[in-house]
Structure 1
């Protein structure tokens, strides 16, 4: 092989890479030159998301708003567009669009309509010039969730305390007196409702009372029980049947929750005028009895079998333990009463 031949071969091997470089440069120049032409023919490739649905579109529009219009997507007040509709389009840009819906809001006895995207928030209400208190409640009236709801109610909540009086229903006491004929019945003492003072916390929704919670209840006047005396033997030793005031009929089948009326088996004597006041300062009269305060406290209302309703308002030197001394207007009645065993019922 001659020197000239070797030289020619080496030159050929160096020329091949140079040709490749030149070809690549020409191709890049052509791409850069023809890119605007293809861009004008196919349009810019834009990633468009509409209400969560994403697709690639090609457009020759200059702005975001122009592209949406060319695609038949109308932009209305309340719609969300990002970037802004005036933003110039660039190839490869991402555009998000969320369509608003009409929303109706009931607030302060008014009906307000506006367009809204997604759920309703305190920030959105502030934009509309509607104040919302810390305790106020925003109720959804329709829709499967907050993002689809079209009707809302802003409920104004408020609280206040108040005092009011309410009746305390009196109970009904039925006492059997074997000294009276079977079936005879009379009201020995009329009942009267008491009074309770109730303090409440009241909840208001839009100015309307919806709930009242009792905070404190104090009986300021105690009820007086109705006492019915019934002739004949009692079905039990003693019986108290509570009922609504004045509504209970005296019969053998009263309904109610039976409660025990305290009773004592005592020895009963009788006394009449002595010219002195009783131990409680009263002038004696029929219906007053003397008791041992250690057994029956002074002031206690009683029913004494064979005598009737009485109040423990006197004492006596001989009245000690289970002994009671009933008052009559004259000595003859005292003698007629004599000394006997009786059942004494404690009424209060």
Structure 2
């Protein structure tokens, strides 16, 4: 078989005859190549791509398309681009089998921060991301209006107002005075209504830790976060007179209490008094009276209208509560007194 010639072997008895000449082979090859190119073009025209589309950060929309470029795919998806919108990859980029397209809408914003105000465009989905893109760093306490997570929506029109309040907190220490109180103590040795200072008061001190909050340099709140008493106050002590006065027998007596009591009488030898000495060890007789120690303590000085001065020096089995037993020197004096109601002045010391 010669080069460039296709031959076929004839049956026995015949010779070899060329079926295709070199020229015919070239024509045939060209036809084959043309058909192959047309097939490739047709396949390319029918090729589909998977597109993942995100517009203004509002989620991903995945679809299949026969579009050849990003711009054609966006047109097919019904996405209209504003003059300042940004597309990644660029609109003229040819699609691959799996392509992600991101459209960032241009939103006009007016920013007020750090004593300045300016207008610009933002291509971020939220207020916080727009501030980051604008090169504005937020401190941990800074406040943004509206909140950083607020979406930036729309295109054109009035700018979105964004305000950044610089917030800082400062702690200082302050010493304040603690006022002293006044403690009043009854004093039976002072006439009623009179007062006498026993001890002067001394103010104390307390240390406060105060946290001040500043917004754009202006103090907006002050909070006490800690306090410590460094010197406690000392209370003032005042004696308050409780003694009343009464004139008896040409004397002015100071008393601390007035009692109305049921009085009986006793005397040594009256048949009821066991001895001549009282529970207090005093000689039984005039001027020594028996009382209930729960009402009038033993040893208390008294003045009894219709009887005179006395001392609480004895007790008795029947002397309970608002009862008093007056001592006399003779049984006849005791019997003459009998039983009556008396006014008893409990004298001040």
TM-score (structure 1 length as normaliser): 0.41
**The structure with more helix, counted as a fraction of residues:** 1
**The structure with more strand, counted as a fraction of residues:** 2
TM-score (structure 2 length as normaliser): 0.41
